[in-house]
Structure 1
């Protein structure tokens, strides 16, 4: 049986055991969320030995050369020694510039990084509290216009990070993990094509950034924004979206409550097969959006989706 070493701890594990599962079962605190190699919350550094990596392309070459691996995508095939991601050593420092409630359950967090961060609309970051709680969140800010990094935290349900976030104060320190691309972005080649942005809950955060980027680049096609919320009071960016629609005639905004989703989707009609659709939110909602678009005749390669998974405790 291979040995798995973490600091002074030595664990004996079965051959081909998933690295993340072995660490968690051994009492090693490793944050995780998607288990699909997308969120990058479960980064570990291999200091001796090499696991079998099912998704090497998920990390850039520089990160891999430094020994970083995604624990959820690796299996232990021989003796292995790893270091877990240490936000104090490996993360980038930032301070909370502002935090306020956009609705009873959505907290807007604005961070000021110690060093400027290069990113694009639609990307996401792993955020770390000072106590070592981590979770990936999508950026709602726009690098060309906003001096802060903005995130919209869904605090409707209890979760380790969201529970901690309820007590955040301006000036508090946080750490930033790895910046990820994600599936959501704006492409200048889409400028004259219809653009549909379909979000559930705080899945609106990255799409709000993409919307503003499209307008910044003077998007000429129609932009249809659909936001699904549990109830009317949770359309937390209704005013901001309304202001954008009032000043940009190509923008159409639809606010839908969960009880009305089936009827709203049934009424969706494709005006052009050139439409580009970006979807984000809970997997169930994203699946419902995608299914309706498929039935409406939109080619799958014109649909880009990112899902927000439930909180990991």
Structure 2
């Protein structure tokens, strides 16, 4: 059986064992969230040996050349020595400059990193707290405009990171892990095309940044934003203000109980429409199906799925 080494520990594992499971079964507490290669919380660096990687395309080429792998997507095929991502050494410190509740369920977190972070609207980044708990969150801020990094934390359900976030105060520090390029972004050549933004809950966060990026770049095509939420939209005021300033933007706030009926009535404005979707897995799947039935080509539909992990 192959030997697995991490730090000062070496032990044997069954060939073909999932690397994340093998590390955590040994008590090393490598964080994870989605187990699908999307959140990047389970980054490990291969120092010797090479695991079998089910999703080599989930990491960019430069990071792979440095030896980084996603433990959840790897299996142990030979002797392997790895080091888990260390936020204290490899992360970026960021100070909390803003904490406020948008309604009673969404915590808006604003951070200022110790050095500028280059990003674009739609990306997400790992947040590490002082207890070593990591979760991926989409950036709601707009680079070059907002002086901070903004995140919208859904605190409806209990969770290790959100429970800890309730105790944070302005001046505390978090660590930032690697940025990750998700599927959501704005392309300048979309400028005249219809744009459809579909968000559920805090799936609005990256689309809030992308919407403002589109308007900043002078998007002239019609933009429809539909926010499906329980109760009142947590960005009802800012969305209304933005719609009042831009005649090509329409905003529709939909009670979550009406999600299915509203999606069934949704129609594409043209075959050129670009659809961006963000929310839970069931919501994303329902929206993608609706876009297909509405005649929007698959290449014009992009989505990011939020995975809720309670522990």
TM-score (norm 2): 0.98
Greater CA drift, 247-256 or 63-72: 63-72
* 1:59 aligned partner: 59
Q: CA deviation at 1:48?
A: 1.7
Asked if the contact 2:121/2:209 (under 8 Å) is kept, the reply is: yes
1:32 counterpart residue number: 32
CA contact (8 A) 1:140 1:208 kept: yes
Separation in 1 of the partners of 2:69 and 2:22? 15
Could you tell me how far apart the structure 2 residues matched to 1:50 and 1:267 are?
Answer: 50
Kept after mapping to 2: 8 A contact 1:51/1:77: yes
The answer to whether the 8 Å contact 1:270/1:298 transfers is yes
CA deviation after TM superposition for structure 1 residue 296, in Å: 1.3
Contact residue 121 and residue 141 of structure 1 kept, 8 A: yes
Q: 1:266 corresponds to which residue?
A: 264
What residue number does 1:111 align with? 111
> Are residues 1:310 and 2:308 paired?
yes
1: CA distance, partners of 2:302 / 2:59: 20
What SS class does the counterpart of residue 304 from structure 2 fall into? strand
Tell me, in whole angstroms, the C-alpha distance in 2 between the residues paired with 1:136 and 1:294: 29
- Other structure's SS at 1:277 match: strand
Q: Is the contact between residue 157 and residue 310 of structure 2 (CA under 8 Å) also seen in structure 1?
A: no
The count of corresponding residues between Structure 1 and Structure 2 is: 311
1:244 maps onto 2:242 in alignment: yes
5+ residue gaps in structure 2? Answer: none
RMSD: 1.1
Q: Find the aligned partners of 2:53 and 2:229 in 1 and give their Cα distance.
A: 38
Runs of 4+ in 1 over 4 A off after TM superposition: none
Distance in 1 between residues matched to 2:102 and 2:73, nearest whole Å:
36
- CA-CA distance at 1:4 after TM superposition: 0.9
SS at match of 1:17: coil
Q: Is the Cα contact below 8 Å between 1:124 and 1:139 reproduced in 2?
A: yes
When residues 128 and 167 of structure 1 are mapped into structure 2, their CA distance, relative to the original with a 3 A threshold, is same
CA distance in 2, matches of 1:196, 1:61: 31
Distance 2:173 2:222 in 1: 41
TM-score by length of structure 1 reads 0.97
Q: Which residue of 2 aligns with 1:226?
A: 226
- 5+ residue gaps, structure 1, are none
